[in-house]
Chain A
Amino acid sequence: MPFLTHGSYRIRYELDGPANAPVYVLVNGLTQYAELWTAYRDALVARQFRVATFDLLGQGASDKPALFINQDDQVAALDLLIGELGDGPVFLSGISFGGLIALRYAIARGERLTGLVPMSCFAELPPQLFLLGNALRTALILGGTSYLQDLLLPMNVSDQWLKPVLDKLDSVKRQGWLINDVYALQNLMESFLDFQPLTPQLSLISVPTMILNGEFDFLTPRALHETLRIQIPDSSLVIIPRAYHAFTLEKPALTVDLLARFAEDVLAGRWQGNKAVWIAPEEAGGALAPFPAGYDHLRAIPTQGTTT
């Protein structure tokens, strides 16, 4: 298990796939760990990508700073990892908290990236997300990691995913419970206490950017992704049908196909962001459909509106 060193801390990472291939770097969300990308690693390697996964500081097998975890340190750790990858094309993708770290990296070190895929992501903490985040932190404090997982699971995935595992939720949660420590998760959550919106800096992201948002994501809803679409010049927004916040867990085949096609399009010079809004196919390999012209993609009912 290789480690990078950032100050006195160690960051666990893994590289798979051909050494000279374009690289996908995948960044975990809160309570996640690198092994959750296994299906992505296998599928991307099969499509001739190299894949870099790692555990954020405070999670998984990486060190867990005892008192504070600064988001700048996460960006520095990510920079160390990308520094290991040579000079070839690098595509960076992250989900939720990991998406935020990916955005920060793209703002700070965009010249090192070939493409960016923020998923279930946010650049601001509007009142609903702020209060949800506070409530989740309180849940962690009062009820531990298990209670936090209890609250996150129904936000993250659909009834269809949950129904077959309802009688074995403890085993679903166990690895995340084992590998995460309360104090470390709390430190990660408290790294938002001095959070400043990234919105004013998003226009600095000049690389092709595909923003992925679950159709039914109510933790980080459409409006938060719309901020990214509006502000990032070469971007497009892709809505994942029937998906919630953690569609990377629920729809890995579809998501990895979208990631691979995005990178292939960018490398072939076919990518055009145009701040367009798309609807992803239901299954991997299907065609993306443009969001119907004249309708407001921020609404849940078909309301006519203008796309900015």
Chain B
Amino acid sequence: MSEFFGPLDSEGGVPPRQQTRVAAFLTSAHGALGRQFAFALPMKLESAWQTELNAQFFRESEIVSLLFRATTWVPDVALAYMATTWEAAWFPHPTEGIADQSLAMVVDLATRAHAVHASIRPAALLPVEANAHDPFAMALRRIEFENGRLLQAQILFLKGAELVPFRDAVSSALERRHAEIRKLWTEALEGVGITNPRAE
């Protein structure tokens, strides 16, 4: 087990099995966020903040598109079970401690997006000797960089004035989401010989 991808091929490329597992997890997580942002996005924007919702939807879609094209996919028999577990984890649940159900659902989506964007560091899996010109490596770097920007919308909302009365509930829900998603990510990586240094 290593904290990084490998052993790399002769051109510094990531083994296809590791590419497949990581890309499948990221596609599932970002795809779910994209779907949920799309569902929340009205045809006609009525508030300024909804422009960010539009941006989040398209960037999640871009990440999924990028992964489909940049990954060297190979069969992975464990994926059927794992993908089911992942998809179940993305299912919306209203955040406990917030009586307004619509607000509780929005907080739930924001905490999930925060956890995906903040705690999943795919580029940190690339060893120093990884080929910088490899499309998969470049895709992971782009995704991690873009996650840092996408995250800002979740930070602004979750730290915002509207949620001050629910700060404890929001913080607890967010910590739970981070732990849950770290666990799924750790399990996904362990199956292909990678240990997550951020594991619990």
Q: Judging by beta carbons under 8 Å apart, are A67 and B128 in contact?
A: no
Tell me which of A68, A144, A181, A182 contacts B159 (CB under 8 A): A68
Tell me which of B121, B145, B174, B175 contacts A181 (CB under 8 A): B121
| A178 at interface, CB cutoff 8 A | yes
| B105 at interface, CB cutoff 8 A | no
Interface positions, chain B 120-168, Cβ under 8 Å from A, are: 121, 124, 128, 144-145, 148-149, 151-152, 155, 158-159
B114 to chain A: closest residue by CB: A66
A177 to B145, CA, bound (A): 12
Q: Judging by beta carbons under 8 Å apart, are A68 and B171 in contact?
A: yes
Q: Judging by beta carbons under 8 Å apart, are A144 and B148 in contact?
A: yes
CB-defined contacts of A66 to chain B, threshold 8 Å: 114-115, 118, 171, 174-175, 177-178
A65 to B118, CA, bound (A): 11
CB-defined contacts of A67 to chain B, threshold 8 Å: 155, 158-159, 170-171, 174
Interface residue total, chain A, C-beta cutoff 8 A: 17
| B72 at interface, CB cutoff 8 A | no
| B54 at interface, CB cutoff 8 A | no
User: In the complex, how many angstroms separate the beta carbon of B192 from the nearest chain A beta carbon?
Assistant: 19
| A13 at interface, CB cutoff 8 A | no
Most buried by A among B118, B149, B158: B118
B174 to chain A: closest residue by CB: A66
A186 to B178, CA, bound (A): 16
Q: Judging by beta carbons under 8 Å apart, are A182 and B151 in contact?
A: yes
User: In the complex, how many angstroms separate the beta carbon of A138 from the nearest chain B beta carbon?
Assistant: 10
A193 to chain B: closest residue by CB: B159
Interface residue total, chain B, C-beta cutoff 8 A: 22
Is the contact region of chain B dominated by helix, strand, or loop, or is it mixed? helix
* Per-residue contact bits, chain B 174-187, to A (CB 8 Å; 1 contact, 0 not): 11011000000000
CB-defined contacts of B174 to chain A, threshold 8 Å: 66-67
| B119 at interface, CB cutoff 8 A | yes
User: In the complex, how many angstroms separate the beta carbon of B118 from the nearest chain A beta carbon?
Assistant: 4
Q: Judging by beta carbons under 8 Å apart, are A171 and B128 in contact?
A: yes
A66 to B173, CA, bound (A): 10
User: In the complex, how many angstroms separate the beta carbon of B151 from the nearest chain A beta carbon?
Assistant: 6
| A287 at interface, CB cutoff 8 A | no
User: In the complex, how many angstroms separate the beta carbon of B176 from the nearest chain A beta carbon?
Assistant: 10
- Known contacts: A66-B171, A68-B171. The answer to whether A183 contacts B151 by CB under 8 A is yes
- Known contacts: A66-B171, A66-B175, A68-B159. The answer to whether A141 contacts B118 by CB under 8 A is no
Interface positions, chain A 101-153, Cβ under 8 Å from B, are: 141-142, 144
CB-defined contacts of B145 to chain A, threshold 8 Å: 144
Q: Judging by beta carbons under 8 Å apart, are A181 and B149 in contact?
A: no
Interface positions, chain A 161-217, Cβ under 8 Å from B, are: 171, 174, 177-178, 181-183, 186, 190
Tell me which of A68, A142, A144, A183 contacts B114 (CB under 8 A): A183
Q: Judging by beta carbons under 8 Å apart, are A142 and B149 in contact?
A: yes
B118 to chain A: closest residue by CB: A183
CB-defined contacts of B115 to chain A, threshold 8 Å: 66
Q: Judging by beta carbons under 8 Å apart, are A186 and B121 in contact?
A: no
- Known contacts: A67-B170, A181-B118. The answer to whether A174 contacts B128 by CB under 8 A is yes
A sample of 14 cross-chain residue pairs with beta-carbon separation below 8 angstroms, ordered by A number, consists of A65-B175, A66-B114, A66-B118, A66-B175, A67-B170, A68-B159, A141-B148, A141-B152, A144-B144, A181-B118, A182-B118, A182-B151, A183-B151, A183-B155
What are the 7 closest A-B residue pairs judged by CB atoms, nearest first? Answer: A183-B118, A182-B148, A66-B174, A144-B148, A66-B178, A67-B171, A66-B175
